[in-house]
Amino acid sequence: MNDKEEKNTRVLHTTWFGVFMIGDSKVLDKELFSKDPEKLAEKKFSMEKGEILEEEKNLAERWDGFSVTSKRLNDIGELWEGELSDLEVDLEEYSYQETLLQEALVKLGSKKIRDSIDFGEHLAKAVDAIQDLNEIINIKMERLRDWYSLHFPELEQGVSDEEYVNMIFQHGSRENIIEEKGWDISEDHTGGEITEKEEDVFKKMAEGLKDDMAYREKLHDYVRRRMEKYAPNMTALTGPKLGGELISLAGSLEELAKKPASTIQVLGAEKALFKHLNKGTDPPKHGALLQHPYVHQAPKSLRGKIARAFANKIAIAARLDYFGGEFKGDELKEDLEERIERIKE
């Protein structure tokens, strides 16, 4: 570690070809980037997303008492208030050419397009698949409960869908379930007896439901990981499930970022909105936002105002994520919760 100097006499400055520690118009230390256009594009992409580069961390560890030239680096230093022109570094001195920057920018553009397609379109398809699976699972579950209740109606009471399916899949008949669980149930059952064929059918139905539920969990995990990577502000504010659904309803993160808060507020309520426009019914106050506890746990008379405040913050979060802004998800969430408390008061 070098001797400490007065604050602001050294500046950590990042260019497209490297990171430099500059003091008294001289380069004191540096970490140069690779001359591979693809890797340069990756660095630029990371910076646009608000990430701190490894090279910047390395210089920060080696020096004390410096300022930074980007708000992105606020966590490692205070923002420098001078002119960037005072920090110019001669790229040719380090054997870099402008043509390399042009190649990297082309690669960066291609990467943005690929990432946009991968994230937006794949996420929308995953959310659609989850919604389809929900319908399929609900139908199968209703059919299994309805049919199996002819044999063991007492199992209906106080048992979750997952427990219900697991018990039938593992044990099959009423007698096996009672024995395995050690339940004290009267022999005066109201259900009928079943044969081995019927028991096998129930087990197969339960096995199919278990597979569907497991696959749904995998899709939920996929949506969560993609949201955390590509839409961290949305994820912090709405959670991955609702955030993914809003992006799917809008068509892409780009489309969501373009929409005003008033439109985001009623995404998912298109039928009610159409009915309002054509038949003069009351306009919808919320769409998909109703599923979030902020809205559905609020008194009905306040849900509209809370949904509007929620939509305002979502609009900001979507723009931060799409345009590569810094992470403010926790701050947005805190502001929203304070606003909700004021509304309730």
Amino acid at 253: L
The predicted model scores a pTM of: 0.62
Kindly list the distances between the CA atom of residue 26 and the CA atoms of 4, 17, 97, 157, 220, in Å, as whole numbers in the listed order.
17, 17, 21, 77, 52
Q: In which residue are the tokens 């080696």 written?
A: 62
From first to last of its 345 residues, the chain has per-residue pLDDT tens of: 444 444 448 999 999 999 999 998 899 999 999 999 999 999 998 888 888 999 999 999 999 889 999 989 988 999 998 888 788 888 888 999 989 999 999 888 887 776 666 577 788 888 889 989 999 999 999 999 999 999 888 887 778 899 999 999 999 888 888 887 777 665 666 778 888 899 999 999 999 999 999 999 999 999 999 899 889 999 999 999 999 999 989 988 888 999 999 999 999 987 877 777 777 778 788 889 999 999 999 999 999 999 999 999 999 999 998 887 789 999 999 999 999 999 998
Length of the chain measured in residues: 345
Class of domain 231-344: mainly alpha
Q: Which of 100, 119, 110 is nearest to 37 (CA)?
A: 100
Could you state, in order of their start, the residue ranges of all structural domains in the chain?
10-96, 114-225, 231-344
Spatial distance between the Cα atoms of 28 and 158, rounded to a whole number of angstroms: 70
What is the DSSP pairing of strand 10-14 with strand 66-68? parallel
Q: Which letter, b or e, does each residue of 285-295 get, where b requires 16 or more Cβ atoms within 10 Å of its Cβ? A: bbbbbbebebb
pLDDT digits (tens, 9 = 90+) for 103-134: 999 888 887 776 666 577 788 888 889 989 99
Q: In which residue are the tokens 């992105």 written?
A: 72
User: If one looks up domain 114-225 in CATH, what number appears?
Assistant: 1.10.287.4070
User: If one looks up domain 10-96 in CATH, what number appears?
Assistant: 3.30.420.220
Kindly list the distances between the CA atom of residue 181 and the CA atoms of 149, 150, 175, in Å, as whole numbers in the listed order.
18, 20, 10
